[in-house]
Amino acid sequence: MFDVFGSVKILIKIDTICIDNNIFRLHYKATVILLIICSLLVTCRQYIGDPIDCIVEEIPPNVMDTYCWIHSTFSVPEHDKGVNGKDIPHRGIGPESSKEPYRYFVEDLGGWKNVRTVNRFNHQFYTLKFFFCELLNFINVISQIFFTDFFLGGQFTTYGSEVLSMTELEPDQRSDPLSRVFPKMTKCTFHKFGPSGTIEKFDGLCVLPLNIINEKIYVFLWFWFIIVSVITGMHVIYRILTIVVPQLRVILLRATARLSSAEKIQHLGDFFSLGDWFVLYQLGKNIDPLIYKEFIDKLEKAINGRTTSSAFA
């Protein structure tokens, strides 16, 4: 287990220099790490075994498994209801010719990272780019939800809520997304030429142990994406408030520069533009509080001296 996930440890390292915020890290670090772990889980045969095992007496198992894995298995929606072993042999399996392709999709989500080009003449532009990337975080996670929903045949957007309503039922009694999207038992049809040259048809029953992991992963991803989207949406609202409410910026700067006097912070907040305030706020995340206090004091003194000289000019 440690050999498999050992390579992920390098991603857990947190940079000592903070150029973004926790919302960015939630997207480009935490989410990416979780998706990499999920991808590793579904590819580790030592924990899952073969991804597919098909049962057909007339066909060698390795041939049938390879064929059905390449050409896909299928389930029959009309046989999704009923009692296993009585009405149907297994959920989604029965005498029907129509086919519903089985597919599974392992998603890889790339994280956004903010643009870092900045100098003392373009604080406003840098700040607007940073805020725009925060908005892109929200757009990205919402897009991932609908993108995953598309690949799962329209089952993902309500996946978690429907799963919660079915958790108390036994697996053979379920008629829920877990059985429809990730079936454990499916069919596979194999054709080959018989002794007389005619095409013979062989129906195989296939077990998909990989779907036991898949269904758990996508339930977790549903809740994760919902939580991340809610947190990011709230952060976007918070960011809008910092843009339109100048006094909120003063309060945030005061929280960063706790050792400085409230009067000096208020003076800086009234003097600085949005871009200057944001750079000063980000600077406070990377400087020792005592050094930051000294910097704030000298900055306020310089600004106060400039405004005083301008008044007498």
Order of strands across the sheet that contains 74-75: 53-55, 199-207, 185-193, 74-75, 100-101
| 302 or 10: which leads in pLDDT | 302
Tens digits of per-residue pLDDT, 295-312? 998 888 888 776 555 543
Highest mean pLDDT among 196-205, 237-246, 282-291: 237-246
Percent of the chain with pLDDT over 70: 71
pTM > 0.75? no
Tens digits of per-residue pLDDT, 102-120? 222 223 323 323 344 344 4
Show me where the domains of the chain are located. 245-306
Q: What are the tokens at 188?
A: 């596979």
- Quickly tell me which residue has 């042999």 as its tokens: 89
What's the longest Cα–Cα distance across the chain? 110
| DSSP result, 215-258 | HHHHHHHHHHHHHHHHHHHHHHHHHHHHHH-HHHHHHHHHHHST
If DSSP codes are grouped into helix, strand and coil, which group holds residue 100? Answer: strand
* Chain-centroid distance, C-alpha 91: 30
